[in-house]
Structure 1
Amino acid sequence: MNPFATRILGRYRAYRTTARTPTGETPYNLCFGTEAIIPVDIGVPSLRVQTFNFNNNEEKLRGNLDFLPETRDMASLKITAYYQRIARHYNRKVKPRCISVRDLVLRSLEAAGKSPQRNKLSPLWEGPYMVASIVKPGTFKLKDGDGKMLPRTWNIGNLRKYYQ
C-alpha cells in the first residue's frame, strides 16, 4: 500500500476511534456497539490487550449490542443539548434589529444588483426607502420617495435603519 493511502486510512481510523464532543461516543461505537481496537493497540502491550479474555468477550459483545439503542438515544439527547448550547452562545452576542412599517431604511447596493463601475469611494447604501409592509418577520416590501412600490421583497440583512 502506498504511503498516501496509509496516511488517509490512519486519519480515518483516528476519526472512527475518537470520541466526538457532541455525543461523547465514538462513531464506531454508535455503529457497531463496541469500541474499536486499532492495530497499534494489539502490537503494543497495554492493559486492555493483556487482560483480554476470549471466554467473556462473546458475552460482553452481546451485552453491548443489547444496550446499543439506549446508547444511540443518549447520544441523540447529548447532540440536542450540544446544539442548544451552541445556539445560546451565538445568540448571546446577537443584537436584534427592529424595523417596523413606515420606518425609513437604506438598502444595500450590492443586494440591489446595482454595481456599474464602483470604486472604493462609491456608496454602499442607497435610499432612504419607506417600509410599506412586513411580508414575514425579517422580510419587507419597500416604497421609494415617490410612493412607488419596489418590485421585490427585501431581507433585513440587506437593510439598514435610516436616521435623519
Structure 2
Amino acid sequence: MSSRVCCGTPKEGIGATPFYLVYGGEAVILAKVEVESDRLQHYYEDNAEMMLLELDLVDESRAKAAVRLMAYRQRMKQNYNRRVIPRSFQVSDLVWKKVKPVGDVTKLEAPWDGPFKVVEKLQSYAYYLEDEDGRRLERP
C-alpha cells in the first residue's frame, strides 16, 4: 500500500522544520507504510485553498522562528559563560601558550608551548609575551 508521509523534524532553535520556513508547508513524500497519521488522512490532493491559507501564515512563522532562535542562542551563550573560568595574568607571570595546529599535526604533539613571560597586559585580556631568550612575540 502506497501512502504519503511527512518528513522533517522541527529544530529546537527555530521550532519548525527548515522546509516549512522556506516553502510554507511540510514536505510530503511517498512511502510504503501500513498506518497513516491524522495529518495524512486529512490530506487532499487538491487542497489549494488550504495551502494558500498556510502561505499567509508563513511570514508570521518565520518571525516566530527568528525570535525563538535568538532566545535559543542566548540560552546557549549563558550556559557557555556559566562554565567559563575567567583568568587574569600580571606582568612578569609565566604562562603557557596554546599551539594552533598548522598543516600535518598529529594528536600526540604537545598542545602547549612555553613557558612565556607576560611583558604587557592589554585591556581586552590580551597579553604580549616574551620567550625564554627574551624575544618578544609579534602578536598578543
Structure-2-length-normalised TM-score: 0.69
Q: Look up the match of 2:103.
A: none
Task: Note the 1:84-123 alignment, pairs <5 A.
Answer: 84-100=74-90, 102-108=91-97, 110=99
Distance in 1, matches of 2:132 and 2:29, equals: 70
Q: Look up the match of 1:160.
A: none
- Between the two proteins, what is the percent identity of the paired residues? 27
Q: Look up the match of 1:62.
A: 52
Q: What 5-or-longer segments of structure 2 have no aligned partner?
A: 101-108
Deviations for 1:23-77, whole angstroms, at most 9, x for unmatched residues?
Answer: 110111111111222212887544333333456x222211111111111111111
Amino acid at match of 2:139: T
SS at match of 1:152: coil
Residue from 21, 25, 31 that aligns with 2:16:
25
Q: Look up the match of 1:138.
A: 125
What is the aligned length? 128
Contact kept, 8 Å, 1:30 with 1:72, in 2: the verdict is yes
SS at match of 1:49: helix
CA positional deviation for 1:110: 4.7
SS at match of 1:37: strand
Q: 1:125 to 1:75 in 2, by over 3 A?
A: same
Distance in 1, matches of 2:99 and 2:43, equals: 65
SS at match of 1:83: helix
Q: What 5-or-longer segments of structure 1 have no aligned partner?
A: 1-12, 112-119, 155-164
Distance in 2, matches of 1:47 and 1:128, equals: 66
Contact kept, 8 Å, 2:117 with 2:130, in 1: the verdict is yes
More helix by share: 1
Q: CA RMSD in A?
A: 3.5
Amino acid at match of 1:21: E
Q: 1:103 to 1:58 in 2, by over 3 A?
A: same
Larger Cα-atom Rg: 1
Structure-1-length-normalised TM-score: 0.60
SS at match of 2:119: strand
